[in-house]
Structure 1
Amino acid sequence: MSALVVTELAEHIAVIRINRPESSNAINSEVMDRLSHALDQAAVNADVRAVILTGTGDRSFAAGGDLKEFHQSLRTPDDVYKKWSDMRDILYRIATFPKPVIAGVNGAARGGGGELAVACHFRVASSAATIGFVQVKLGISPGWGGAALLARTIGYQPALRLILTGKVITAEEAKQIGLVDEVAQPDRFWEAVWKFARELADNSPAAVQSILHIMRQSRNLRLEEAMDLESRLCASLWNSDEHQTAIGKFLIGKH
């Protein structure tokens, strides 16, 4: 049996791939466990500077939760809450990950798949991909934290409309509302994802981590506090090897 989550590492980039193409990369309990483990490994591996999260094949990024499994195993609201809390914790870890996480939206992202994509810091999509928060069509609401993440990403009103209508939108439509950062033709999709990740991985890991922290915390701080945090984090990097090397090259270039 093939691994349900596959991780590959090259050029300081970890590619974490949900590997259930026969089930549209639907997320079941084992995928949750494997995905959690893969994130643990990427977080502590100093060689990893950026992460790409994607699905196997070109048809589906992730179809959301495996409804067949969950409707057999989750009998009560308490069962659902406990299981959804596990996945919510994974999405929170992605949203607060200390390294950039790019969703490579290779195909359809539906329901929880949309929630997983919006948890990532960036999204690069194939022009053939579609995204839909379709839970309302099934008589439920998003349950993994995706509604809160979507509102923080594209704004309250556009998020409300997408979630309440369950509308499935194209990659280009998603880009227009700020849900997707880049769109590429299917035959250039992986090249575009890799280029995006490389631009992030080429920078100082410590500086990138500080910037991610600043941007995340600034949402919850008063302006004065957020600006002070910026100053403190920048100061903490002043004597780092990366800064000293970069500033040395800059000064030499001035002569």
Structure 2
Amino acid sequence: MAYTIEKKDKGYLLFTITRSEKRNAINYDVMDGLAQAISEAVRPDIKALVITGAGEQAFCSGGDLSIFHSLHTKEEALPMLLKMGNILYSLLTLPKPTIALINGTAIGGGCELAAACDFRLAKKGIKAGFVQGKQAITTGWGGGSILAEKLPAAIAMKLLIDAELNTAEYLYEAGFIHYLYDGDSVEACEFYLEKMLAKEQAVLEAYKKIWIEKWQESKLHERMMQEINRCAVLWESEAHHQYVKTFMEKKVHKD
């Protein structure tokens, strides 16, 4: 199993990507698990959804190129990109608080997953970045459009265009990370969530709907789909294929 879904005693759902040997990269199984967790989080006994990665090295290293490297053309890549984009929109518009518990490195699509959550908590010393630009593509799951909703334009644009790994401390100052912690991830998360989980669920849902309605009004889903289509065009470019080839060759030598 590529993931676990656990209901915690304090009333939230914990989704963990359990592919630490792959730096918690997202494959189709993880996508299906996320969709399942989002649908389970709607239950009346769940007050929040927390997403994290197994181990201490990585939160999520984005899409698993060892799986997706076989997607060469726009037509081949688009279904995968759309599938995850729609999952992220479902996560974004879940009528409960959502938390990315960034316990290790977050790269590329891992940052898109984190961006789709309402709150981002990061372990001190980790690094994260929207590195897709270095892969000759853009954010492929709608994460750029999501980031544009959540950060000032110049800050969001610089994070995307620079395509660098940044420290959690830098991202905290930029407003992408909301809380830095040391020690046990789940304990830190429960400390951060304590006041939220003490509220009536109807209150949590009513507040979340303020933002859901805003995103619906601004046609965020439509904008995410347009972003994904633009990424699919870049996906079939020679520059991206060359990046993937180099990545796979390095991986073979490492293994």
> What's the TM-score bracket when you normalise by the shorter of the two chains?
0.7 to 0.9
Aligned equivalents of 1:216, 1:30: Cα separation in 2: 27
Corresponding residue for residue 17 of structure 1: 16
Q: Distance in 2 between matches of 1:41 and 1:212?
A: 17
1:218 positional shift: 3.8
SS of alignment partner, residue 41 of structure 2: helix
Gaps of 5+ in 1: 223-255
Displacement of 1:129 after TM fit?
Answer: 1.8
Partners of 2:111 and 2:137 in 1: CA distance? 15
Partner residue in 2 for 1:195: 191
| Structure 1 residue aligned with 2:231 | none
1:87 is aligned to 2:84: yes
Per the TM alignment, residue 216 of structure 1 is displaced from its structure 2 partner at its CA by: 3.2
Distance (whole Å) between structure 1 residues aligned to residue 53 and residue 201 of structure 2: 26
Q: Deviations over 1:39-86 (max 9, x none)?
A: 11122x2111011100001110000000110012x2320121111000
Distance 1:142 1:218, change over 3 A: closer
Query: For residue 249 of structure 1, what is the aligned residue in structure 2?
Result: none
- Is the radius of gyration larger for structure 1 or structure 2? 1
Alignment length (residue pairs) = 217
SS of 1:109's equivalent? strand
Structure 1: 4+ residue segments shifted above 4 A = 219-222
Normalising by structure 1, report the TM-score: 0.81
CA RMSD after TM alignment: 1.5
The answer to whether the Cα contact below 8 Å between 1:111 and 1:132 also exists between their aligned partners in 2 is: yes
Distance in 2 between the 1:33 and 1:220 partners? 24
| Residues 1:134 and 2:131 aligned together | yes
Bigger relative contact order, structure 1 or 2 (CA pairs below 8 A, ≥6 apart): 2
Residue identity in the other structure for 1:123: R
Question: CA 1:16/1:75 → structure 2, altered by over 3 Å: closer, same or farther?
Answer: same
Q: Is the 8 A contact 1:13 1:197 kept in 2?
A: no
Q: Report the alpha carbon displacement of residue 221 of structure 1 after superposing the two structures with TM.
A: 5.8
Q: In the alignment, what sits opposite 1:226?
A: none
Paired residues for 1:42-191 under 5 Å: 42-43=41-42, 45-72=43-70, 74-185=71-182, 187-191=183-187
Unaligned stretches of 5+ residues in structure 2: 219-255
Q: SS in structure 2 opposite 1:183?
A: strand
- Counterpart residue type for residue 36 of structure 2: H
Q: Partners of 2:41 and 2:210 in 1: how far apart? A: 21
Aligned-partner Cα distance in 2 for 1:162–1:113: 14
Q: Aligned partners of 2:55 and 2:216: how far apart in 1?
A: 38
Amino acid at match of 2:209: H
TM-score under structure 2 normalisation?
0.81
- Code of the aligned partner of 2:80: K
